[in-house]
């Protein structure tokens, strides 16, 4: 999906959710990637496309005053402890260990955004 369509569709989804429940707490999560699987060959191009989607998610999180979860730094940091394949098996889908990283970061981000 082209970037502009991605952002517009995501915006419509968030707007509809807030319209249905104005007290809803939104927690959009930025996409992430590592150089594994089929994306290893064209990783620079793939990573740049994912980065643009991260920026779109960050813009929407700001627009909706939402807690945003930034997974890329967590995965980048984790690669200092184990190879990329340990965390993400195909460049975008996490392994069990990658899901554990995500759960921890999600909880941390939400608790920081809404401390009570």
- The string of pLDDT tens digits covering residues 14-62 is 999 999 999 999 999 999 999 999 888 899 999 999 999 999 999 999 9
Residues 6 or more apart in contact with residue 14 via CB below 8 angstroms: 26, 28, 60, 63, 64, 66
Query: Which residues make beta-bridge pairs with 29?
Result: 69
Residue 81 is part of which domain span?
A: 3-113
Residues 6 or more apart in contact with residue 11 via CB below 8 angstroms: 60, 63
Number of domains observed in the structure of the chain = 1
Interval 64-105: pLDDT, tens: 999 999 999 999 999 999 999 999 999 999 999 999 999 999
Is the entire prediction scored with pTM above 0.85?
Answer: yes
CATH code of the domain covering residue 38 = 3.40.50.1110
Residues 6 or more apart in contact with residue 69 via CB below 8 angstroms: 27, 28, 29, 30, 102, 105, 106, 109, 110
């Amino acid at each position: 999906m082209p970037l502009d369509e991605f952002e517009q569709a995501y915006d419509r989804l968030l707007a509809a959710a807030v319209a249905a429940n104005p007290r809803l707490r939104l927690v959009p999560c930025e996409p992430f990637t590592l150089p594994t699987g089929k994306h290893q060959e064209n990783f620079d191009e793939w990573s740049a496309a994912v980065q643009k989607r991260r920026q779109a998610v960050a813009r929407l999180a700001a627009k909706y005053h939402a807690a945003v979860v930034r997974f890329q730094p967590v995965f980048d940091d984790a690669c200092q402890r184990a190879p990329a394949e340990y965390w993400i098996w195909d460049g975008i889908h996490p392994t069990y260990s990658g899901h554990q990283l995500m759960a921890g970061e999600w909880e941390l981000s939400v608790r920081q955004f809404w401390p009570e």
